[in-house]
Amino acid sequence: MSIPGPGGQGLQLTPFRGLRYVAERVGSLAAVTSPPYDVVVRPEGLRELETADPYNIVRLILPQAGTPEARNRQAAETLRRWQADGVLAPDPEPALYVYEQRDGPTLQRGLIGALRLSPREEGIVLPHEEVMPHVVEDRADLMRATAAHLEPLLLAYRGNGNGNGTSESGASESGAQGNGGSGNGAAGQGTGGAARVIERTILREPLLSTTTEDGVDHHLWRVTNPSDLVEVATDLRHHQALIADGHHRWATYLRLREERREPGPWDFGLVLLVDTARYPLRVRAIHRLLRRLPPEQALPAVRQAFRVRTVDGPLPRALETLAEAAEAARAEPGTPNAFLLAGDGRFHLLDRPDPELLARTVPDERPEAWRTLDATVLHHTLLDQLWNVPDTPEHIGYLHDSAAAVEQAERLGGTAVLMHPVREDVVHELARQGIAMPHKSTSFGPKPATGLVLRSLTLG
């Protein structure tokens, strides 16, 4: 994705003084990291991370206290105390950071830096999902209190590489296409300036290396050489990027920047920028947990509008059936949607929705690619029309892990709605048109581990 026209004022990724854990002060770097705040499965995953190490980053990104004000105050106090005690320390000079993740055959490399913020209409950073105001407000309160960016967003751009970083690992848990890059995007094959800098940098000894509990290897390098920084800047200013993960944090960055009149550190946001021509991202679904709607109420309400069939488990087999149904549905004009319901110990496949019902419930002023999205039909037809479930945290949970969604539904007596991933080309096409998908429509990855490098807005 390149920026047309004169000037080339595209992506502007700037160095910053990274705030990092001091390895000697913590049990291990792996023990203090966390998935992004919205991927942590609560409450089980939260408790597990809190007990992994007293300095786990989850105490900053998801502080626990009685009120929102107390939570944010606690996070700010914890951050100050950890810096005062030498648990976290700033790097000596501003830098960009090369970040590498290896998960079996999947390899991803990118650059972590402070990206100059730009509104949607400038066409430099393209969102593809709507956001939920209460989540933006929650993240804004936390950022104000801590004066820090605690975890990087994941942004995707198309560089000038040869695009050989194709997948060796196949589909996601529910049959997604187009996954993380293989080792084919190795040193010496790229043509872009940023790619060349990354390839030179990874030949050096890493600044840090760790393997997290999920078996993923993480490596981080600093880039401080002025000629390398110029080479990166010259390359990136001709490109635009898609927000792959972190829409709420990007919206928070923009809100907090608007609150300040003078130029300063709030004009930039912490991001991981990945060239998907070399390292394609995985696309997975985000599932819904309907906390107060039991399956015995959900299923009768949809039988007149969808074909409903009980399908065999266990979960991986049921997800394969969902993937097959979704692919078959795409070949049938007007009925491209399929969902998997769980919560009563069985799996129920919903497909072949009534076209007349879709015509009545789905807004018709948007492109067909938007109207036929599973997330669009789920929210406008199922949740709003057939189930009458409000889109509020007490009614709907959003989970990246299908097993966790099923387990929580069975434990709470609710319904899990398991989704099939959106095709990546659909995401890019809607983003280019300026059309936002419903919130939590996609999950791109691999996501960066939280806790390897932070950005304090008070550092020089």
Q: How far apart are the first and last CA of the chain?
A: 33
Q: What are the backbone angles phi and psi of residue 445, rounded to the nearest 5°?
A: -165, 180
Q: Which residue reads 């490596």 in tokens?
A: 219
Give the length of the chain. Answer: 460
Query: pTM of the entire structure?
Result: 0.82
The 10s digit of each residue's pLDDT in 185-229 is 333 344 569 999 999 999 999 999 999 988 999 999 999 999 999
Q: How far is CA 175 from CA 374, 417, 419, in A?
A: 15, 16, 11
Using CA atoms, how far apart are residues 375 and 379, in angstroms rounded to an integer?
Answer: 6
- How many helices (DSSP H) and strands (DSSP E) are in the chain? 15, 21
Residues of the chain below pLDDT 70 = 1-8, 161-192, 333-335, 460
The 10s digit of each residue's pLDDT in 93-149 is 999 999 999 998 889 999 999 999 999 889 999 999 999 999 999 999 999 999 999
What DSSP character marks residue 277? T
The 10s digit of each residue's pLDDT in 275-293 is 999 999 888 999 999 999 9
**H or E stretch including 240?**
none
Using CA atoms, how far apart are residues 8 and 355, in angstroms rounded to an integer?
Answer: 45
